[in-house]
Amino acid sequence: MYTERDESGKDVEFFSSNGKGAIQGNGNLSRGSGQNARLVRFINTVGMAFHDIILVDAPAFHLVLQGVENAEFYHITVHGANVGGTDGVDLTCINNCYLHHIEVTNRDECISVKSPSQNALMEEIYCNHAGGMSIGSVDASSKS
């Protein structure tokens, strides 16, 4: 039975107090199993900070930010697998998002900014071995 739930948040701070906190996704154990797992995901969150965290080996995307507003993300390190489908950061920013001092090592998108994002500022982003950064998405109707 499906129960509707509120997936929004307000005034959230997620961090490691000593800057050494890491989340291990064990993607090597579950990759290819049909799961589309995200290591960390925030949905419809207003007024948030996410910082001083290391994300390691997600089965799929590492940090997914859907519909965030008035948010800051900084001092984040992502160590992804040497395969596709392991985006570092997927962002849909409703308004006023600031991403800085982020380092991503993977073989997929480093940062992917999705439509209809607006007022997103990114500085000091380091993409190691990544496919780069992308802005916008290709919808299914434009693929041939």
Residues acting as catalytic residues: 108
Residues 78 and 105: beta-carbon distance below 8 Å: yes
Q: How far apart are CA 9 and CA 98, in angstroms?
A: 18
Read off the tokens for 41. Answer: 């995901």
β-strand pairing of 120-128 with 40-43: unpaired
